[in-house]
Amino acid sequence: MGREPQRNPKDLDPTHLSEFRERLTRCREANPDAWDASRNLVGQPQVQLTLKRLTAAIQDSPSLPFALRNQLVGVLREGTANRIQELPGEGLRQLTGLPPTKAVRALCILFGLARQEGSAEPVPAISAAQIERFVRTCPNPFDLLREADVASLLDLGAGDLSFASELVDQYLPILQERQQDLIVHCIDRLKPGSKLGGPLHPGHAKLKSLRQPTPGLRFQFWGDQDMFDLGKATNLLPHYTIATCQAPATPTFALEPSRVSPPIIEEHLRKTKGVFRTVRVEGEEALEVLHGGRTLLFPPWKFEIRGPLALLDLLSRHGKLCVLSAVDAEVFWELLSQLVADSRMRPTDVIFSPAIIAELFGPLYVSLSTLPVGESVVLSNLTDLRHDLPRVLTTPDVQERHYRFRHIEVRRGAVFEGVPCSRTARLFKDMTEEPPPWFLVLVPAEPTELQAIPPKN
Ligand SMILES: C[S@@+](CC[C@H](N)C(=O)[O-])C[C@H]1O[C@@H](n2cnc3c(N)ncnc32)[C@H](O)[C@@H]1O
């Protein structure tokens, strides 16, 4: 039998090289302002410092294959050159597909050196295939912020901003060292100053600390902002490296309105949550719920049902990688039913009870419900993934009517070592009646990959 030729680990894999060149081209094309700005980085007297910084950024990029990283550092003369003309032009061309000056400028964009205040916002150029490879090997999906060409995150329903704070504490120092910006944008529908929502409001000190001018940090928080009506949040980027929703709201995302009709939803809410009505409290509109002999007050939109399809649509539009954490059981099974290919798992007008879930999901239910806390599975190893998720949000910015996720990981548990986490995730350990929640890592397929989807009848 013929043997596979042995590859020296120092050899550059041709697939890695072609992917890298492609990423470089896309990054350059997607950031025309940064491309213009990069001209300043290769002129005198700046170029010497640029080559040093670029080398450091490449050395500090462990997601790059070892051989590629080494060769790039080699052709950059380990940051010791004073002029571009001192670099080996042919070597640079082989690695980047570009003549030397353009190669250095493109590398400056890819490794985050070529950005200017006021320039067009950076668009992550990292591909879905690269992200999938990354999340399949790295247990912390948020580490993508230190690996991707742009470090940006959108947190939807950000609550008290605990997660954003932890994230900034963890990644800002690393990115500052590489002179790369960390962009963190947070949205929550609670009205700042409202009496409703209690501990989910960000504390004054936390907000002040995140908002104070800090080198390399671009933080913004929009309160009183419905994630499904993003008109007011004008500085929002079209695409983020990561879009996340930590502890997606219940019942907002626990029932899918395209699966369960409004009267059945309403009846279910009255049965499980209690009698409710809109009232005014101290000048504010509120939802009053009579539950277990107690009167509870919530923001007036608490029982607006949007469903998991709307959340998935939103996350996949904005994030190159999507992360859902601390997903409770109700939201999880409704969400799962929309992610799988088998349409029998999303029957019309059936409210999911534990018994129905067990019966409906069958072997998939057994595999997932027995997943130990801390363990994870790649969903496509258990069942076929849905290829025609409908775009349910009616905004004109996205053309295609369907999309899909090319990779979905399902993990069990609320808090994971080394992974920044939210207030609600931390509280799960005290919720003795709640089963352990779920953590999902989803990689949307690129629009170009969607053409492969067979048309729906
Ligand atoms: C369960 S809490 C989770 C808060 C925080 N992410 C955490 O994990 O601690 C859900 C949050 O989503 C917010 N929310 C609910 N619906 C929203 C919407 N349509 N737009 C923006 N935020 C929303 C709520 O105000 C609340 O802060």
User: Are 216 and 353 found together in one domain?
Assistant: yes
Residue nearest to atom 24 of ligand 1 (CA): 157
Do 58 and 139 lie in one domain? The reply is: no
Do 76 and 143 fall into the same domain? no
Summary count for the chain: helices (H), strands (E):
15, 13
List CB contacts of 354: < 8 A, sequence separation 6 or more: none
400 has pLDDT over 80:
no
pLDDT at position 114 over 50: yes
Pocket of ligand 1, candidates 200, 201, 232, 245: which has the most ligand atoms within 8 Å of its Cβ, to mutate? 200
Residue 1 lies in a domain: no
pLDDT at residue number 455: 42
Q: Where do the DSSP E strands lie in 366-416?
A: 376-378, 389-390, 402-403, 405-412
Q: Yes or no: say if 174 and 262 are a contact pair by the CB < 8 Å rule.
A: no
In angstroms, the CA 242 to CA 247 distance is 16
Tell whether 251 and 367 lie within a shared domain.
yes
- In angstroms, rounded to a whole number, what is the distance separating the alpha carbons of residues 402 and 449? 12
Q: How confident is the model at residue 103 (pLDDT cuts 50, 70, 90)?
A: very high
CA of 406 relative to ligand 1 center, distance in Å: 27
Inter-residue contact 338 to 346 (CB < 8 Å): yes
- The residue assigned the tokens 């999938």 is 132
Q: Across residues 229-236, what is the average pLDDT?
A: 80
Of the two residues 78 and 132, the one the predictor is more confident about is 132
- What CATH code is carried by the domain that includes residue 214? 3.40.50
Same domain for 359 and 232 = yes
Q: Looking at the structure, tell me whether residues 281 and 421 fall in a common domain.
A: no
Q: In which domain, by residue range, is 102 found?
A: 14-110
Tokens of 153: 């995150």
Give the pLDDT band of residue 1 (cuts 50, 70, 90): very low
The burial class, CB within 10 Å (0-12 / 13-18 / 19+), for 451 is: exposed
Question: Does some domain include residue 367?
Answer: yes
Whole-number Å distance, alpha carbon 213 to ligand 1 midpoint, is: 26
Which residue has the least CA distance to atom 5 on ligand 1?
159
Same domain, 164 and 194: yes
Q: What angle do CA 16, 18, 19 make, to 5 degrees?
A: 65
304 lines ligand 1 (CB under 6 A): no
Number of domains within the chain: 3
- Cβ(326) to ligand 1 under 6 A? yes
- CB count in 10 Å sphere of residue 16: 15
Using a 6 Å cutoff on CB, does residue 302 contact ligand 1?
no
Q: CB-side exposure of 446: number of CA atoms within 13 Å?
A: 12
* Res. 15: pLDDT tops 90: no
Q: Dump pLDDT digits (tens) for 148-204.
A: 989 999 999 999 999 999 999 999 999 999 888 999 999 999 999 899 988 999 989
Q: Quick one: average pLDDT of 355-381?
A: 97
Helix or strand (DSSP H, E) at 286: strand 284-291
The response to whether residue 189 sits with its C-beta less than 6 Å from ligand 1 reads yes
The residue whose CB lies within 8 Å of the most ligand 1 atoms, and thus the one to mutate among 155, 189, 427, is 189
Statement: the pTM of the whole predicted model exceeds 0.85: no
Dihedral sign of CA atoms 132, 133, 137, 142 in order: negative
- Whether residues 441 and 348 share a domain: the answer is yes
Asked if pLDDT for residue 245 goes beyond 50, the answer is: yes
Q: What are the tens digits of pLDDT across the range 26-56?
A: 778 777 777 887 888 888 877 887 888 788 7
Q: Is residue 7 part of a domain?
A: no
* Most confidently modeled range among 4-13, 194-203, 415-424: 415-424
* Predicted local distance difference test score (pLDDT) of residue 338: 98
pLDDT score for 116: 46
Tell me the average pLDDT of the chain: 89
Mean pLDDT, residues 103-107? 92
